Amino acid sequence: GGRYSIWLEDIAKLFGQQDYSTQRPLHYGGSIADENILKNKEYLNFIKYLSFSDIWMNNFNHKHIRVILSYFWKLRSFPAYAQQLEMESLGKPASASSKYKNTGQVIFGGYGPKAEHSYLQLLHQGTQEICADIIACDKDKNDLEYIKAITQTRLLSKGAEDLEEKEKINGNVPVNLFIVKEGGLERIGQKNIVESLGYFIATWEHRTFITATMLGINPFDQFGVNAGKKYTLARQFIKDSS
């Protein structure tokens, strides 16, 4: 899922940079998450909880689809990154030795406010079995994006009362709510926001890797992708030769 094309834990050393946090804040944030998963038991348990929750939903709770909605403009493209990371890493045949026969979930999503007329209707009243990840930022709790994130989390998970029969929504949708604490990062400005992004991306990658480990599959091969390339090249070669 691009893990090693984005960064390495000691990439700054490769570039001879002395002040890692100042020169490469994205990588620095990722390295903090890397250190946490090695040394911080609370962080590791959090990742294990997320990973096993994904496996449980997919194998025992019939939740084969997960939507990722970002209600934070600066992370509006993150769901597309997470889709590529998870579906390429976890979209593999089940391990013969594993009791889990469903591997990666179908992932889709995008910027939350734009989803209102794209797929929120299906999420609230449709018949598909889904679960959700919602991302928000706590910088301003009066901000409309934040209010929408909290509202949608509650509506998906708890439903709503006092609605007419035709207006009733599903509720009981399993939701993870991630709060990005940008408000606490103002002391040195934009750099720490980027640092936080690095930490967040690396955390999602750890979630994906631990899930793969539990499933007994290799998250780094991509033979399905290679097949399309291989046979496209073969077809082009035959065409050029004829």
3-state secondary structure the chain: CCHHHHCCCCHHHHCCCCCHHHHCHHHHHHHHHHHHHHHCHHHHHHHHHHHHHHHHHHHCCCCCEEEEEECCHHHCCHHHHHHHHHHHHHCCCCCCCCCCCCCCCEEEEEEHHHHHHCCHHHHHHCCCCEEEEEEEECCCCCCHHHHHHHHHHHHHHHCCCCCCHHHCCCCCCCEEEEEECHHHHHHHCHHHHHHHHHHHHHHHHHHHHHHHHHHCCCCCCCHHHHHHHHHHHHHHHHHHHC
Residue 137 has a CB neighbour count (10 Å cut-off) of 24
In whole angstroms, what is the distance from residue 192 CA to residue 25 CA? 7
pLDDT for 158: 96
Judge whether 134 and 152 are in contact, CB under 8 Å.
yes
pLDDT for 185: 42
pLDDT for 26: 82
pLDDT for 187: 41
In whole angstroms, what is the distance from residue 182 CA to residue 197 CA? 10
Report the candidate in 133, 98, 99 with the shortest Cα–Cα distance to residue 218: 98
Residues identified as active-site: 88, 117, 229
Can you give the pTM of this predicted structure?
0.89
pLDDT for 27: 82
pLDDT for 151: 97
pLDDT in single tens digits along all 242 residues of the chain: 455 567 655 555 555 555 666 677 888 888 889 899 999 999 999 999 999 999 999 999 999 999 999 999 989 999 999 999 999 999 999 999 999 999 999 999 999 999 888 999 999 999 999 999 999 998 888 999 999 999 999 999 999 999 999 999 999 999 999 998 765 444 444 557 788 888 999 999 999 999 999 999 999 998 998 898 888 888 777 777 76
